[in-house]
Structures are given as structure tokens and as C-alpha cells.
Amino acid sequence: MKTHVPKVDLDERKWHVVDAEGKVLGRLAAEIANILRGKNKPIFTPFLDTGDFVVVVNAEKVLLTGKKETDKKYMSYSGWKGGEKYVSVAKLREKHPERLVYHAVKGMLPKNRLGDRLLTKLKVYRGSAHPHTAQQPKPLDISA
């Protein structure tokens, strides 16, 4: 029996806008990752990019549970000896709040070339304005 591989039409991709205000970060990121992968569609194929575009607004108003605001740290490494840098969630929210959502969604996507391609369809912005009005994104209600 042959495996059916669906044709991925680039014109079929939809644009969704998600308001992150008052949403818990991990639950929001899980829903966004599913939409980026296309797991909400009947033509989902694990090795193909069948997902939609997602625009996240109000990234600075996302919620974290527990004491993550002060205790959780993000680490980056330059490759040099002693090149580790740590930044807390509070400082990251102050300087670059869109990176909170970006890192959370990135961790829930595949760690390969497909995951890199899926991540290009995620657009995260602080505030409620975004430059993608020409694509006519539909508001997506995520009850997380």
C-alpha cells in the first residue's frame, strides 16, 4: 500500500493573530507550536510544513506561574571559555519581551531543518500593533 503525501499549497496558508495578554506562557506556546506545525489540520504530515503563520501581539503581558519571574534564567554561550551569560525573565521582559514567547515556542518545535523553517512563520511583537495587516490575519482565541 502506498503512502499518501498531500500537496502543500502555499496559497492555502492562513494568518492568525494571537493576543498574549493574560495568557500563561507555556500553554500559549504549545498551542502556537501546534498551529505552526499544522497539527490542527487533517492533512498534517510530520515531515512536511503544513502549518499556518502566527502573529503574537502584546508579548510583554504574557503570564508566568510560580516564581519563574525571578528564578528562571536563560543561558547563552559564546563558545569561548567563561562565555556563559545568564539573564533572568524579569530583565528579558524589560528589554526584549518578544523573546520570551519566541524561546518558548522554539523549544516545542522539532530540532532540525523543518523546525527552523517553521520558526520563520512565527511573528512576535510587543504592543498591539503589527505590520501584517495586508495578510488579513484572523483573530485566534486560545483559551490557555
Domain annotation for the chain: domains and CATH numbers: 14-64+94-139 (3.90.1180.10)
CA dihedral 37, 41, 47, 53 (to 10 degrees): -30
Give the model's pLDDT for residue 2: 85
Q: Does residue 8 carry a pLDDT above 90?
A: no
Query: Is 63:22 a contact under the CB 8 Å cutoff?
Result: yes
Instruction: Find out whether 26 and 107 touch, Cβ atoms under 8 Å.
Output: no
The pLDDT of residue 10 is 74
47-71: average pLDDT: 95
pLDDT at 144 over 70: no
Across the range 76-93, mean pLDDT stands at 96
Question: If DSSP codes are grouped into helix, strand and coil, which group holds residue 19?
Answer: strand
Q: Could you give the count of Cα atoms lying within 13 Å of 68 in the half-sphere of its Cβ?
A: 12
Stretch 17-27: mean pLDDT, rounded?
Answer: 96
pLDDT higher than 80, residue 107: yes
- pLDDT, the chain, mean: 94
Cα distance from N-terminal residue to C-terminal residue, the chain: 40
Q: Which residues of 40-66 are buried (b: 16+ CB within 10 A; e: fewer)?
A: ebeeeeeeebbbbbbbbbbbbbbbbee
pLDDT of 9 strictly over 70:
yes
- Per-residue confidence (pLDDT) for residue 135, from 0 to 100: 94
